[in-house]
């Protein structure tokens, strides 16, 4: 690039070009400051919709004002990374089938940070966030023009749908902000709300996490309420149903491109096959099979609990021996779910 051409390209466009070059699918810029959705988020927590996720209440000051994570923070470079919405639905939510997105995206945002410093020619204070702090990344993403809040609470982009991760790099640079995404393109559609098997949506854009299958199979550490177990069906970790039915995903979601997000071998197969594999694993196989996987968040007892519920819903008499064998060494919480599954099959 000649110096004359370079001078005609804004630093904002150079940053975006580099972000796309690093593999991100979406990028926008916004100015930091008071978060528009912070009060609604705090009301949501006060209503008990966060369940056991007590950590969400921490860092309230930073959540209310995105300039507070470090002194001098002015702008946010907000990115989106597609994780594939074209693959067949299955017992494991698409986002969790490969490697942990937190690590991959954080590394790339830090690489972008280093590039910005080299391009600017002096040190730039910055901090990357990928679900790793009290920053409302979804709020920043809408303000950066990346999409609108769908009725299922996910950010929806008109060219990509909602099967993408959001990350943000906060910097102490005065950057020209993109126009926020003001339109609501859900219209009168309520397919996501009506499709939820457990009735987790209190209203449009209000999710009761304590009824959400993703929460029940990932975040909840104790027993899954008996009245919700049948509705979980063959799902073992997470849920994509409200995204699967969204017309924007039906039309615009893409194949998974990142090699790191490809499905792991142990997760190949339909619900019963995956549930049997998870219920059969010991501590060593859990550690090796799920090294670097977001599924480690549920820990081995959580995955065994989920597998037992799935087998209770989609298994048959050929699974009884496996369930009884797993019961011998399982903790009390897992045993109650295995007993429920055995009773269902019998």
Catalytic residues: 131
Q: CA–CA separation, 204 vs 193, rounded Å?
A: 7
Element (H, E) at 156: strand 155-156
Comparing CA positions, the residue from 12, 140, 83, 291 lying closest to residue 127 is 140
Q: What does DSSP assign to residue 157?
A: B
Q: CA–CA separation, 135 vs 56, rounded Å?
A: 10
Per-residue H/E/C for 232-249: HCCCCECCCHHHHCCHHH
Q: CA–CA separation, 281 vs 276, rounded Å?
A: 9
Residue 91 burial (C-beta neighbours within 10 Å; 0-12, 13-18, 19+): buried
Q: How many CB atoms lie within 10 A of CB 12?
A: 18
Residue 316 burial (C-beta neighbours within 10 Å; 0-12, 13-18, 19+): exposed
Contacts of 279 (CB under 8 A, 6+ apart): 304, 307, 308, 311, 322, 323, 326
Comparing CA positions, the residue from 6, 274, 30 lying closest to residue 173 is 30
Give the DSSP letter string of 13-70: HHHHHHHHHTT-SEEEEEE--B-TTHHHHHHHHHTTTTTT-GGGGS-HHHHHBTT-SS
Q: How many CB atoms lie within 10 A of CB 305?
A: 30
């Amino acid at each position: 690039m000649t110096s004359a051409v370079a001078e005609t390209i804004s630093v904002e466009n150079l940053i975006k070009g580099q972000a796309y070059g690093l593999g991100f699918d979406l990028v926008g810029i916004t100015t930091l400051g008071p978060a528009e959705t912070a009060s609604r988020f705090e009301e949501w927590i006060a209503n008990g919709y966060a369940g056991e996720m007590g950590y969400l209440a921490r860092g309230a000051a930073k959540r209310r004002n995105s300039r507070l994570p470090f002194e001098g923070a002015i702008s946010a470079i907000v990115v989106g990374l597609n994780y594939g919405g074209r693959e067949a639905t299955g017992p494991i939510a698409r986002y969790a089938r490969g490697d942990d997105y937190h690590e991959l995206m954080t590394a790339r945002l830090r690489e972008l940070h280093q590039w910005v410093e080299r391009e600017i020619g002096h040190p730039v204070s910055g901090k990357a966030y990928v679900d790793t702090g009290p920053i409302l990344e979804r709020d920043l993403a809408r303000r950066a023009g990346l999409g609108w809040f769908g009725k299922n609470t996910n950010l929806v982009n008109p060219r990509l749908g909602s099967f993408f991760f959001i990350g943000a790099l906060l910097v102490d640079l005065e950057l020209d902000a993109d126009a926020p995404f003001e339109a609501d393109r859900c219209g009168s559609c309520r397919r996501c709300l009506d499709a939820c098997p457990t009735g987790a949506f209190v209203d449009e854009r209000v999710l009761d996490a304590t009824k959400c299958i993703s929460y029940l199979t990932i975040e909840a550490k104790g027993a899954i309420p008996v009245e919700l177990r049948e509705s979980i069906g063959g799902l073992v970790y997470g849920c994509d149903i409200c995204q699967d039915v969204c017309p924007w995903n039906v039309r615009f979601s893409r194949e998974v491109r990142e090699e790191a997000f490809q499905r792991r071998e142990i997760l190949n197969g339909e619900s019963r096959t995956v549930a049997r594999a998870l219920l059969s694993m010991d501590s060593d196989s859990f550690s090796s099979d799920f090294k670097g996987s977001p599924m480690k968040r549920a820990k081995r007892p959580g995955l065994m609990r989920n597998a037992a519920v799935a087998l209770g819903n989609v298994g048959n008499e050929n699974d009884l021996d496996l369930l009884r064998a797993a019961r011998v060494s399982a903790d009390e919480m897992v045993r109650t779910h295995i007993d429920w599954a055995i009773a269902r099959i019998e």
